Amino acid sequence: MDDKDKISLVSPSKKIFYLTLCLLIAISIGVNLLTVTDQSIRLDESQSLWAATKSVPGIINYISQDVQVPLYELLLHFWIQIFGTNIAIVRGLSFIFFILTLPVLYKVYRQVAGRSMSLLGVTIFSLSPFILWYSNEARMYTMFALATSLDHLFFLQLYKSKGEKGKLGYFLSTLFGMFSHYFFIFFLFTQFIYVAFNTFFNVGSESIKAKLWAKRRFLIRYISLLFLDGIFFLPWAIYFIFQGIASSTQPLIPIPTSYDIFATFINFLFGFQSSDVQTLMVSLWPLIVLVLFFIFTRRKSNHVLYKGYFLLTAFFPILLIFLLSFFKPIFLSRYLIFVTPSLFFIIAWILLSYSKRTSYILIAIFLSLLLSLLFYQNLSPFTPVKENYLGVSQFLDEKATASDLIAVSAPFTIYPVAYTYKGEAGIVTIPKWDLYSHGAMPAFNLSTFQKNLQSYQEEYNNIFVVLSYDQGYQKDIQHYMDTHYKRLIVKTFSPGLEVEEYQLRYY
């Protein structure tokens, strides 16, 4: 038995433990497949589809004015050319990235730990309601997680071999990550901090000069690979800057608070639950801190390599992005999905840091909780990230006629409504915007809004206002409509998504 296997749960029931974890992974895959067709198309998915239906030059031009990088949209473009635009089929690309991540993560964990811990880490990843949600969404997030996992794999190979192994893999996985999401730069910076600390600040008797000489081969190859990746990414960066750095499409993100940090970790572990459940979990943070203190002071010693690396890559990027968000708000939990491979390994390490009996009990409780919340998240109508645009469109199909008008706010929510709406009524946006035009979306102006409504009165009987994704002026719309027109219907379809019908003219 090697050192890695010493941390395994050595018992006659080890095979049952492994089979149970594999069964749970299979269940998580089954839950994904069963729910992939039940969920309505969501805003981000509709925007991905809108971009992917363009030509390749059109995609590059469109994405260069957005807050994303182009790789996922290009892959999705060819995916829908082959398989079509049905939303369940479109989501299949993200699901494939999720499936591919599982064996990669197992290989990453096996480089530093035993079989039990590695399989447990993969099981936690596969059962995470947060991960399962994005494995069932037509966006780049599971591709981003795959790119990060591959980069972990080849970075550790490169670091352990002092630059001898993993060079090509690290170069390609880094390039893959850079074209998956802009936040990959925070992951690379964290790796750089780890290398710098272990080179210059790690406690030891050697001088800095001696340390540099000992690690010269690794440092030269590591820095050269990063530089080469930067050269390949530079043309896109220049083009992106030339196009205006997404000045017209950046989402409205508030400045984060300490609550957002705890809420993010709750999301990573337990997914997107109803507001009451989420609030309860976040309110328990003092108890969680005490439990963690107990865990890290009472646990038994395990032989795990590069613990500092996983701790740093799990927590430092979140802290860094949190601090940067006070200057430019960019803190969103889904953008931070790249820390989950490290975070879930740390959790597996903690759960296996006790006696066999205690570890079994803790693992059973934790995985049961994950599985229960996974089902609750996917089935509950109160899940805050559910966007029932399909329900909205079906309602409008039934209620709106050719003599009525549909107005959506914010403007970009026209994508999911238009994707599923099949009725005769026309669709406009608030503020008025042509989605086929280039350039910035217009800012909301109450005076312009009033003039538009006056012109609508000359042609339409009723107006159906679809409200979601408040961009700071939703209350102005509601107040003006409520004080100037008769409201006929208010119907909520999912958290934050509702339709209000108003009578525009009288007979």
| 414 lies in the same domain as 269 | no
Backbone angles phi, psi at 199, to 5 degrees: -90, -45
* pLDDT interval class at 313 (50, 70, 90): very high
Selected residue with higher pLDDT from 12 and 113: 113
- What type of residue sits at position 234? L
List, in sequence order, the alpha helices (H) in 380-445: 389-399, 414-420
Q: Is the dihedral of CA 334, 256, 412, 378 positive or negative?
A: positive
| 196 lies in the same domain as 116 | yes
pLDDT of 438 reads: 59
pLDDT of 355 reads: 80
197 assigned to some structural domain: yes
Contacts of 465 (CB under 8 A, 6+ apart): 407, 408, 409, 430, 477, 481, 499, 500, 501, 502
Element containing residue 49 per DSSP (H, E) = helix 43-52
Domain endpoint, select from 349, 379, 409:
379
Q: What is the pLDDT of residues 437-450, one digit of tens each?
A: 655 677 888 999 99
Domain endpoint, select from 379, 397, 412:
379
Does 37 score more than 80 pLDDT?
no
342 assigned to some structural domain: yes
492 assigned to some structural domain: yes
| 353 lies in the same domain as 398 | no
| 116 lies in the same domain as 142 | yes
Cis omega (within 30 of 0) for bond into 425 = no
Does 216 score more than 80 pLDDT?
no
Does 298 score more than 60 pLDDT?
no
Rounded CA separation 248/187 (Å): 26
Does 220 score more than 50 pLDDT?
yes
Rounded CA separation 475/487 (Å): 15
Cis omega (within 30 of 0) for bond into 235 = no
* pLDDT interval class at 433 (50, 70, 90): confident
| 313 lies in the same domain as 428 | no
**Lowest-confidence pick of 97-106, 299-308, 411-420, 486-495:** 299-308
pLDDT of 284 reads: 64
- Per the CB < 8 A criterion, the answer to whether 499 and 392 are in contact is yes
DSSP 441-475: PPPP-HHHHHHHHHHHHTT-SEEEEEE-S--S-HH
Backbone angles phi, psi at 70, to 5 degrees: -85, -10
Element containing residue 405 per DSSP (H, E) = strand 405-409
| 17 lies in the same domain as 131 | yes
DSSP at 85: S
DSSP at 249: T
pLDDT of 270 reads: 86
| 348 lies in the same domain as 489 | no
pLDDT exceeding 90 applies to what percent of the chain?
39
Q: What is the pLDDT of residues 436-486, one digit of tens each?
A: 765 567 788 899 999 999 899 888 999 999 998 888 889 999 999 999 899
Rounded CA separation 86/373 (Å): 28
Rounded CA separation 324/73 (Å): 27
* pLDDT interval class at 253 (50, 70, 90): confident
Does 2 score more than 50 pLDDT?
no
pLDDT of 495 reads: 85
Does 432 score more than 80 pLDDT?
yes
pLDDT of 123 reads: 92
9 assigned to some structural domain: yes
Distance of CA 308 to the CA centre of its chain: 25
458 assigned to some structural domain: yes
Domain endpoint, select from 379, 400, 418:
379
266 assigned to some structural domain: yes
- Axis crossing angle, helix 216-242 with helix 184-196, rounded to the nearest 10: 150
pLDDT of 294 reads: 58
| 428 lies in the same domain as 303 | no
* pLDDT interval class at 256 (50, 70, 90): confident
- Count other C-beta atoms under 10 Å from residue 219's C-beta: 18
pLDDT of 505 reads: 80
Does 7 score more than 60 pLDDT?
no
Burial of 276 (0-12, 13-18, 19+ CB in 10 A): exposed
- Per the CB < 8 A criterion, the answer to whether 42 and 137 are in contact is yes
Does 98 score more than 70 pLDDT?
yes
Residue 392 has which token pair? 């909205």
Rounded CA separation 430/412 (Å): 10
DSSP 147-205: HHHHHHHHHHHHHHTTTSS-HHHHHHHHHHHHTT-TTHHHHHHHHHHHHHIIIIIS--S
| 375 lies in the same domain as 393 | no
| 98 lies in the same domain as 179 | yes
- Per the CB < 8 A criterion, the answer to whether 59 and 77 are in contact is yes
161-186 mean pLDDT: 93
| 351 lies in the same domain as 398 | no
384 assigned to some structural domain: no
Q: How many domains does the chain have?
A: 2
Q: Which domain holds residue 397?
A: 389-503
User: How far is residue 16 from each of residues 12, 23, 437, measured CA to CA in Å?
Assistant: 9, 10, 59
User: How far is residue 375 from each of residues 25, 129, 214, 273, 404, measured CA to CA in Å?
Assistant: 14, 8, 52, 10, 39
Does 403 score more than 70 pLDDT?
yes
pLDDT of 227 reads: 95
Which of 235-249, 265-279, 320-334 is predicted most confidently? 320-334
pLDDT of 229 reads: 94
No. of H helices and E strands in the chain? Answer: 23, 5
289 assigned to some structural domain: yes
| 362 lies in the same domain as 489 | no
